[in-house]
Chains A and B, each alone.
Chain A
C-alpha cells in the first residue's frame, strides 16, 4: 500500500538517513522525499514529507522504529486507491456472472472495479470485457489480478493482464 507521512527531523547531520533507512529495512519502496531544509516547525524541527509503498502489516513496526530513532511522526496517511490498471476478459462473461466477478474484487477491501465496458457480438459468441481496477498500492493491484486469474480459470474465461 502507498503511505504518505509528514515527519519532523532534528536539525543535525545524519537525520534524513535515520528517517529513510528503516523504510528500506522494512522492504518499503520510497516514492518521493520532500525535504524542507529552509522551513522550520515551531518546535525548531525540519519538516520532511515521505511517500512510500510498503506491506500493510509492517506499517506499525516501521512507525515505532522511526519514533525510536528520535523522529517525530506528525501524520501518517494511507492514499486510497492510488494504483489503476486495466485488464480484459474474453469468454462467456455474462453467463459466468460478471456481477459476481466484480463483487469478488470489490470485497477485497483494497481493490475496486471502477469501470466496465463490454462488447457482445451475438448470442453464443464469446464476449469481451474491459475492467478498470483501482487498488491501494502496487502489491494490492497484483493481488487483485491474482484473484481475477483464479476467477477466470474457474469460470473458463481468458484473462489478459497488463504487461
Chain B
C-alpha cells in the first residue's frame, strides 16, 4: 500500500468537498489502486489543523460546514495556509483558495512555496494559472514535482487529462464550448422562461449559482481565464488573461433571444481557442451539440485524427469538482 500524504489549503466549498470525497472514496481507492490517501493538514485563512498521523476528513468537513474548525483538537491559529505548506510533510498540496485574476494571490505564492518544498500541487484555482502559467510550470519542473489542474476548467469535465492521457496522438486544432455554468443558466432561463436578464441573474444568485458579485462570471472573465489555461497547456500558446478578447452576456436582451429563437437559434456564451482567444455570445442552432442548457458546461475539441470530440458535464459543485481533483491526485500517486 502506497501512503500519500495530503494537505488542503483553502478549506471552503471545494477544499472541504475534497475532504468529504476522500472520506467517501478512500477504501475504493485503496482497493483499486493500492493508494492510501491520508489527510495530514488543512490550512485556512485564520489558522489550520495539523495532524501528522492523519486526521478524519469527514470530521474536518463537518466542522468546516458548521464554521467551527477551531474546535478541532489539532487546530492551531498560527498554522495558516502558507505555514502548512512549508512545515507539514505532505506529498501533495491541494490548493483551493479563492481565484484572483489580477495578482493570482494567495494561490500563486502557495503553489511556488509548495514546489520549493518539493511537494506536488493539485489545484482548482484558475487565478495563478491565468496570470503566471509559464512561471508555475517552470518552477514545478525545476523542483521535479508534478503540477495538475484538471479542476480549474470545466469542474467535473475531464479536459487536460483527456488530452494528455487519451488523445495523446492527436494534434488539437481548435476548442470551443460553454465554460461557465452561471452564464449558461441565466441565458437558458431568459430564453425558456422569458425572464429579463436582471430577473434571471437574481434567481441564479438566490439558488447559489451566481456569486453576490457576479461580474467575474457574467462579464466573461471566468471563461477567459479558462481559455488562457487551455491555450497554454493544450496549444502551447504563451498567453495570459490580457490576451483574450472578451464580451460577456450583460448586453444580451430578452428580445434578441426571442428573435434568435424564432429562427431556431439559442444565444450562448462561447469560449474559443484557435488562432485567437475569444469569449463572446454566439448564435448556436438549437439542435447543435453545443446547445446544452441549464448550468451544464460543454466543450468540443477538433482534432486531426479523432475528428470532433465533445464532452459535457457539471462545471461546478463541491463533489463534482472533487472528482477532477482526485483524478489528478491518483494520477500523481500512481507515478
Contact = CB atoms under 8 A, between A and B. Distances in A.
A121 interface: yes
A29 to B, nearest CB: 16
Given A88-B283, A90-B251, A128 B263 contact: no
B283 A127 contact: no
Nearest to B257: A128
DSSP class of B's interface residues: helix, strand, loop or mixed?
Answer: mixed
A35 interface: no
A117 interface: yes
B309 to A, nearest CB: 17
A122 B174 CA distance: 41
Interface string B263-286: 101011010000000001111110
A119 B252 contact: no
Contacts of A121: 253, 255
B255 A163 contact: no
A163 B283 contact: yes
Contacts of B288: 163
B288 to A, nearest CB: 7
Interface string A5-38: 0000000000000000000000000000000000
B226 interface: no
Contact of A158 (B247, B259, B268, B290): B247
A52 B199 CA distance: 48
A119 B258 CA distance: 9
A126 B251 CA distance: 9
A128 B283 CA distance: 14
B282 A128 contact: no
A118 B270 CA distance: 24
Interface in A147-163: 158, 160-163
A94 interface: no
Interface string B173-210: 00010000000000000000000000000000000000
A128 B255 contact: yes
Given A86-B265, A163-B285, 7 more contacts: A88-B283, A119-B253, A128-B255, A130-B256, A130-B259, A132-B263, A161-B283
Interface of B: 176, 247, 251-253, 255-256, 258-260, 262-263, 265, 267-268, 270, 280-285, 288, 290
Closest 8 CB pairs of A and B: A119-B255, A128-B256, A130-B259, A128-B255, A162-B283, A158-B251, A163-B282, A128-B253
